Amino acid sequence: MNTGVWSPSSDSLKHIERCRMIDLPRINDPRGNLTFVESGEHIPFGIERAYYLYDIPGGAERGGHAHKELEQLIIAISGSFDIILDDGYRQERLHLNRSYYGLYVGNMVWREMDNFSSGSVCLVLASTLYDESDYYRDYDEFLQAARRGA
């Protein structure tokens, strides 16, 4: 997993290898800190949609899908949670717990989220508006598409 400012990845990389932690800008101030995200500067896409998950009950899991085209930046705004990434060849589990780090997740990566701490808030910035036809919600269907290079 890479960290830092966004840089394009080689097309020869597997989908999971294109995922990376992005160290977002921080302005430290005794009155409270500030972090921001700019389209095309910190992330490789324009932000078309933002949503957040909160009040997640203990033991709950979220995600459980992949996207054909959509790209996302996932941020633990408050608290912490784990995210499991899977590109059909490899899996990786990451723990998100800092509001100044974002996890870039590109297309064709199955994601599952669990281990939410009490009071956690997960912010997701997305490259497209909601489109149900962009989802793989069945893991076997995703796996077939991923392994044939869809």
Catalytic residues: 65
Q: Rounded CA gap, 18 and 2, in Å? A: 9
Query: How many other C-beta atoms lie within 10 A of the C-beta of residue 55?
Result: 9
Q: Rounded CA gap, 32 and 56, in Å? A: 26
Question: What is the dihedral angle through the alpha carbons of 64, 106, 40, 6, rounded to the nearest 10 degrees?
Answer: 110
Q: In this structure, what DSSP letter does residue 43 have? A: B
Q: Taking Cα atoms as reference points, which of 28, 116, 20, 130 lies closest to residue 77?
A: 116
Kindly state the tokens that stand for 28: 């430290």
Q: In this structure, what DSSP letter does residue 56 have? A: P
Residue identified by tokens 């949670």 is 81
